[in-house]
Amino acid sequence: MADSSTEMRGGRRATDKQPFDPFECQGGCDDIITVKKQLVDGDERMDRIESDLQELLEIVRMGKSFFKLLGVIGSFIKWAAPILTAVGTVIYMFRTGGK
Range of the structural domain that residue 43 is part of:
27-96
Per-residue confidence (pLDDT) for residue 52, from 0 to 100: 92
pTM of the model: 0.44
pLDDT at 34: 84
Q: What is the DSSP string of the chain?
A: ---TTS-EETTEETTS-----TT--SS-HHHHHHHHHHHHHHHHHHHHHHHHHHHHHHHHHHHHHHHHHHHHHHHHHHHHHHHHHHHHHHHHHHHHTT-
Q: What is the pLDDT of residues 41-99, one digit of tens each?
A: 999 999 999 999 999 999 999 999 999 999 999 999 999 999 999 999 999 998 888 66
| Model confidence at 22: pLDDT above 80 | no
Distance between CA 64 and CA 74 in Å, rounded?
A: 15
Residue 63 lies in a domain: yes
Half-sphere exposure of 63 (CA within 13 A, CB side): 6
Query: Does the residue 77 lie in any domain?
Result: yes
Confidence check: pLDDT of 33 > 90: no
In the chain, the number of structural domains is 1
Provide φ and ψ at 20, rounded to 5°: -85, 125
- Does residue 8 surpass a pLDDT of 60? no
The reply to whether 17 falls in a domain is: no
Name the β-bridge partners of 25: none
